[in-house]
Amino acid sequence: MAPKRVLAIVLAGGEGKRLMPLTADRAKPAVPFGGAYRLIDFALSNLVNSGYRRIVVLTQYKSHSLDRHISETWRLTPLLQNYVASVPAQQRVGKSWFLGSANAIYQSLNLIHDDQPDIVVVVGADHVYRMDFDQMVQSHIESGAKATVAAVRQPLSMANQFGVIETDPSNPGRISAFVEKPPTTPGLPDDPDQFLASMGNYVFDSDALVEALKRDAERLDTKHDMGGDIVPYFVERGEAGVYDFTRNEIPGSTERDRTYWRDVGTIDSFYEAHMDLISPLPVFNLYNAKWPIYTRQFVSPPAKFVRGVGGSVGSALDSIVASGVVVTGGSVEGSVLSHDVRVNAGARVLDSVVMDGCVIGEGAVLNRVILDKNVIVPPGATIGLDVRLDKRRGFQVTDSGITVLSKGQIVPEPDED
Ligand code: ADQ
């Protein structure tokens, strides 16, 4: 059989309201992750490692840093017609910006007409995982479905955050019902505590997708959403298949790692996904060179750990530390530090996520904190030790007690508290 021509579309226009303040001035897919990456690097690395070289990224909301990251990092070889192209909302059809994820693709149908693919792979841009999309495409072709939805089991309590997939036991490869974010759902026959969630990754026969998008665009009663409207369209016609993510084989991956999938849509899940990276036996292993996660290379020197004044030891344990970091007599434990962070004498950084350019002053303490870029923590200040104090100082604190500071947010001197 002749190889199918595949176009990959990455949906990267989401606003990411639940990730505020990290999405205050950047799109969710551009949120920094894991000390060196941006969230979109996972989707793009997966596509490139799957062998796909024609990739369009649909952007919309506060897309400046996302566009810059894509153009600086993801330049493929145009000579071979390889590209990762960032496509902003352009009001190509009518006067509205993208209404929903399906409308984003509908308004960009010219890309499909230009590329003439047989198959369109559509993926979200805000999850942490490794996935070989080519295995899903092969399964799609073999099944004869017109649309295939990637699926992963999730705890019942999360049904209201995902598309819920039901299959018919007599034909388990087909989706018999699909409901987008229902308040509750029954559990699976073999596991009553879990349901089958859509991962927001789809494979379509190109012609069938174009037809579905055109029909959806004519309707006034839909939200023009991939999960809410396009998947149900294929389900109603009996043309939607399901791809079980546990079939995903990744070279060099452990059993646990190859089926790891984390939706980092909230501050708590964003924080937990960081903790998954640094556990000594990592739940998600960044160090698998057979399926690399690519990102922008920084020109900063290697990280450095030295004694501080009075001989205090500079150290990091159970942590990830990016290049350009200098720990001078401070201690870092259970944390992820991005490029060019400074940790000064006697400072302690515990179970925290610290982004580029932050400075932790002498004797300061961070505990279960996320610092967005360029936050200066004055000497002796503490963050994350007293939730009420944190709230009084205008810091955001999640229900589970993670304190988050926005880009460059001012931390008062300890005597101003
Ligand atoms: P959500 O993630 O809640 O659920 P949505 O907000 O549409 O759905 O985001 C999906 C992807 O599309 C994200 O990558 C987002 O950045 C992007 N996106 C959203 N609006 C866009 C727009 N106007 N233009 C371009 N891109 C846009 C979806 C599915 C569920 C599934 C979960 C899995 O709808 O069925 O369970 O993903 O996380």
Where in 194-337 does DSSP place strands (E)? 194-205, 240-244, 261-263, 304-306, 315-317, 320-321, 326-328, 331-333, 336-337
Average pLDDT on 218-238 reads: 91
H or E element, residue 223: none
- Cα–Cα distance list, 365 to 38, 170, 331 (Å): 26, 58, 10
* Model pLDDT, residue 220: 80
- For residue 42, the CA-to-ligand 1 centroid distance in Å is 15
Burial label for 65, CB within 10 Å (0-12, 13-18, 19+), is middle
Same fold, 6-278 and 304-416: no
- For residue 372, the CA-to-ligand 1 centroid distance in Å is 24
* Model pLDDT, residue 90: 62
**Could you tell me if residue 359 is left (phi over 0), alpha (psi between -120 and 50 degrees) or otherwise beta?**
beta
Residue of 22, 42, 101, 225 with the most ligand 1 atoms within 8 Å of its CB, for mutation: 101
Contacts of residue 269, Cβ cutoff 8 Å, sequence gap at least 6: 262, 263
Average pLDDT on 68-83 reads: 84
- Lowest pLDDT segment from 98-102, 151-155, 280-284, 376-380: 98-102
What is the position in ligand 1's atom list of the atom closest to the CA of 28? 16
Residue of 11, 28, 56, 149 with the most ligand 1 atoms within 8 Å of its CB, for mutation: 11
- For residue 1, the CA-to-ligand 1 centroid distance in Å is 33
Tokens of 172: 């388990």
Confidence of residue 91 (pLDDT cuts 50, 70, 90): low
pLDDT at residue 85 tops 90: no
* Model pLDDT, residue 221: 82
Distance CA 57, CA 67 (A): 9
Hunting for tokens 């927001």 — which residue is that? 200
pLDDT digits (tens, 9 = 90+) for 56-68: 999 887 778 888 8
pLDDT digits (tens, 9 = 90+) for 262-314: 999 899 999 999 999 998 887 899 999 999 999 998 889 999 999 998 888 99
What is the Cβ-side half-sphere exposure of residue 26, based on CA atoms within 13 angstroms?
A: 21
Average pLDDT on 25-42 reads: 94
Confidence of residue 96 (pLDDT cuts 50, 70, 90): low
What is the position in ligand 1's atom list of the atom closest to the CA of 15? 16
Longest dimension (CA), the chain: 73
**Ligand 1: lining residues by beta carbon, under 6 Å:** 11-14, 28-29, 58, 60, 98, 100-101, 104, 124-126, 162-163, 180, 197-200, 225-227, 263
pLDDT at residue 95 tops 60: no
Pick the CATH number of 6-278 from 3.40.630.30, 3.10.110.10, 3.30.365.10, 3.90.550.10: 3.90.550.10
pLDDT at residue 79 tops 80: no
- What is the chain's alpha carbon radius of gyration, rounded to the nearest angstrom? 23
For the domain covering 304-416, report its CATH number.
Answer: 2.160.10.10
Where in 142-270 does DSSP place strands (E)? 147-155, 163-168, 171-180, 194-205, 240-244, 261-263
Look over the chain and give the mean of its residue pLDDT values, rounded to a whole number: 92
- For residue 352, the CA-to-ligand 1 centroid distance in Å is 28
What is the Cβ-side half-sphere exposure of residue 125, based on CA atoms within 13 angstroms?
A: 32
- Cα–Cα distance list, 51 to 120, 165, 210, 257, 357 (Å): 14, 28, 24, 20, 35
pLDDT at residue 165 tops 90: yes
- Cα–Cα distance list, 86 to 9, 12, 54, 257 (Å): 10, 9, 11, 29
What residues does each domain of the chain span? 6-278, 304-416
Please, what is the end-to-end C-alpha distance for the chain in angstroms?
Answer: 70
Of 87 and 384, the structure prediction assigns the larger pLDDT to 384
What is the position in ligand 1's atom list of the atom closest to the CA of 100? 23
